[in-house]
Amino acid sequence: MKSSMDINCDMGESFGNWNMGDDTGMMPRITTANVACGFHASDPLTMLETVKLAKAHKVEVGSHPGLPDLLGFGRRAMNITPEDAHAYVVYQTGALQAALKVNDMRLHHIKPHGAFYSLLRTEESLAEAVADAIAELSDTPMLYWPAPTDAAMPTAAKNKGIRVVGEIYPDLIYAPDGSLILQRAKHATDTEFAAAQVKRFVETSKVEANDGSLIELDAESICIHGDGPNATEVGDAVNKMLKDIGCSVTSVMA
């Protein structure tokens, strides 16, 4: 049984007057925030306010870089070069690091977003370039990645000595091969199922797939999406389950 788990959430994804996700509601329920950096979502004020909110709740902050696609929320694939991939991560994470610096905080990790993540799953040359960027941006570099952590990006990161933190997703459904079945539109999560999935993983390192089979995963963090209609209820259910089974909730330390 695992003695502790981190809980992370994608945050700071609003843009101007357009709001995405319940950052205020979710921040007290997590230990780590993945903050958008302006390419797929966010703006300077949103980024600064999100970092300030995280500091108030003692939440660690990592960057959530995406492809330059505000209109498509970073979910449309692009044909990019390794030089592009490296520059995108440096540029976006650098902006977040400035927001962190003025709040006396430090970068905790990097977690690719959306279509950028999808490219990095399979494109080894892009993964190598991003791994270089992660190593260059932090003295204690960490990559957050959905388990299993055997895709091109986490493999490249491990080869460069970067710590890879696997994640499980209690508010999504797993296919028998361990892949996540993504939702075309957000719907309410069954909180009992989410809590049971977390309990199962903490006790056995396995999650249940949609066919009832069990999949073993390597993970230290639980990702809860803050834009779901009952995200805070999912957060409460997961936190309560962890407390009930004696698993502490704490951020991952480098």
Output the average pLDDT for the chain: 97
Render pLDDT for 243-254 as a digit per residue (tens, 0 to 9).
999 999 999 997
Mean pLDDT of the region 16-22:
96
The tokens 């809980």 sit on which residue?
7
Q: 28 pLDDT exceeds 80?
A: yes
Asked if the structure places residue 119 within a domain, the reply is yes
Asked if the structure places residue 197 within a domain, the reply is yes
Determine the Cα–Cα distance for residues 251 and 77; give it in Å rounded to an integer: 31
Give me the pLDDT at residue 182, please: 78
Give me the pLDDT at residue 185, please: 73
Asked if the structure places residue 98 within a domain, the reply is yes
pLDDT band at 86 (very low <50, low <70, confident <90, very high): very high
Give me the pLDDT at residue 217, please: 97
Asked if the structure places residue 254 within a domain, the reply is no
Considering its fold, how many domains does the chain have in total? Answer: 1
Give me the pLDDT at residue 186, please: 78
**What's the domain range around 27?**
4-249
Q: 14 pLDDT exceeds 80?
A: yes
Asked if the structure places residue 106 within a domain, the reply is yes
Render pLDDT for 164-193 as a digit per residue (tens, 0 to 9).
999 999 999 999 999 998 776 778 999 999
Over pLDDT 70: what percentage of the chain? 100
Total residues belonging to the chain? 254
CA distances from 203 to 19, 155, 172 (A): 37, 26, 19
Structure tokens at 213: 């089979």
Mean pLDDT of the region 80-89:
98
CA distances from 158 to 62, 135, 163, 186, 192 (A): 18, 11, 6, 33, 35
Asked if the structure places residue 195 within a domain, the reply is yes
Render pLDDT for 136-175 as a digit per residue (tens, 0 to 9).
999 999 999 999 999 999 999 999 999 999 999 999 999 9
Determine the Cα–Cα distance for residues 142 and 144; give it in Å rounded to an integer: 7
Determine the Cα–Cα distance for residues 130 and 234; give it in Å rounded to an integer: 32
Give me the pLDDT at residue 187, please: 85
Indicate which CATH number applies to the domain containing 64.
Answer: 3.20.20.370
Structure tokens at 117: 């993540």
Asked if the structure places residue 151 within a domain, the reply is yes
Asked if the structure places residue 23 within a domain, the reply is yes
Determine the Cα–Cα distance for residues 78 and 182; give it in Å rounded to an integer: 19
Determine the Cα–Cα distance for residues 140 and 1; give it in Å rounded to an integer: 27
